Structure 1
Amino acid sequence: MDTGPLISFLAVDLLLVCVPGADWAFVIAAGVRGRSVPRAVAGLVAGYALHTALAVAGLAVLVASSPALLTVLTVAGAAYLVWLGWSVLRRPAVPVEAGETGETGETGEAGETAAGTEGPDFWRGAAISGLNPKGLLLYLSVLPQFLVTRGDHAPVAAQTAVLGALHMAACAAVYLAVGTLARRLLSARPRAARAVTRTSGAAMLGIGALLLAQHAL
C-alpha cells in the first residue's frame, strides 16, 4: 500500500481521535480514579479492533447499506453513552490518592480501587468504543475514502486492515497520554478531578441525548 494514502489517513484520523468525546471521558475517569489506564485503553482499542475485523470481513458495507441496522447500532451506542454519562454524574470520581470517595460517601464507581475494577474497565472500554457513533462514522464514512481500488494495489481487505491498525495505534497513543496526564495533573486536586469527571459525564450524556433526539425526529 502506498505511503501517500496512509499518511493522509493518519493525519485525518489523529484529528478525529484528538477531538474530546466518550473515549476521552472514559480514560480521564480511569486516570482520576486511580484505575489502570493501560487496561482502560486496551478495552477501547479492543472495541476498535472489532470494528476493523467487521470492516475487513465486509460487514461494514452491509451495515452502511442498511439504514435500519445502522440506526439500531447508533441508537444502542447513544443509549449506552447516556447511561454511562448519568452514572458518572451521579458518582463523580476523586483521586484514589486523596483517600476520598464520591459525593455519596459510598464505595462503587467513585470509591473502588484499581485492583477491583481492572476487568470491568476493559469490557466497559470495549463497549464504549464498540458502540461509539464516532467509531461507526470513521469506519463507514471516513476510512473507505482512503482505499485504493484502481490499478495494481493490495486487496481492499488488506488495506482496510492496515488503516484499522493505524487507527488503533493512534487511539492507544493519544488515550494513554490523556489518561496519564489526567492522573498526574489531578491526583492532588480532588475538587478539580471531580469537576473534570462531571464535565466528562455531561459530555457523554449530552452526545448520547443529542443522537437519540436526532433519531427520534
Structure 2
Amino acid sequence: MGISRLLLLRIIPYMDGLISMDELSSQTGISISVCNAMLNELVSNGIGSMEGEGYVRFTHMDKINAVVLAMRLNASMDEVARVLHWKDFEMLAAEILEANGYSTARNVRVRARLGLVRGSRTMMEVDVVGLKYVDYRNTALLIDCKHWHYISTSELARVCEKQVIRARAFIAERMDVDDAIPAVVVLNDTPSLIDGVPIVPITRFREFLNELYSIIDDLNVVRRLELEG
C-alpha cells in the first residue's frame, strides 16, 4: 500500500517501546488491517521490529527515522513539531553518545560572557554534554539539538556562534575538562561545517562520533591551555 504521510504522522507519537497492533489501532483510530500494512512497510524500511504475534517494538532511533521519512514525504514543519518533542531529540542524542562510550548530562547550565561589558554574564544552557577520556585528555562534546524542519544558513551561523560561546564558558567552569567541542545536531540530511562547528544530521550522528578524531583538526576545539594562555 505504500506509506501514507498522514497515517505515519498519526503513528509516530506512539513509537515508544513495545506496543500491540490492537492498542496502536485504538490509539490512532486506524483500522487494524491498515495498521498492519503500514507497520509491515515501516519494518521493511528499517523502522521498528515485529515481536511475537501482533506486537511491534520501536526505539528512539526508529521514531527519529520515521520523522525523517515523514519529512521526505513532504511533512510540514508544523506537522513535525507536533509529533516530535524536543526532549525526544535530546534523549536520542544522549543515548547515541552513551552507546559510544561517553558519559552524558542534559540541560547543563553555564554562565557565559556576552558582549564587551566586563563582568556581564548570562546563563546559557547546553542541551547535551558528552564526556570521554581520549589520548590522556578529558574531552567534552557539547551538543545543541535543533529539531527544526528548516533553518537558514544565517540562523545556523548564529546557532554555531552561540555554541562556541557555551563551549568556552563550559570549559572555564569545568577544571577537569581539557577540550570542548561545540556541535549542532539537526533533523535534515545535509551535514556541513560552519566556522569549524559541525552540523550533524541525527541519522549520521553515530558515524560522526566514529570519525570524530580523524576530522578533529578541521573542528573548532576550545582548549583549556589556549584559554589560560
Which structure is richer in relative contact order (CA contacts within 8 A, separation 6 or more)?
A: 1
TM-score, normalised with respect to structure 1: 0.24
TM-score, normalised with respect to structure 2: 0.23
Q: Is the radius of gyration larger for structure 1 or structure 2?
A: 2
Higher strand share: 2
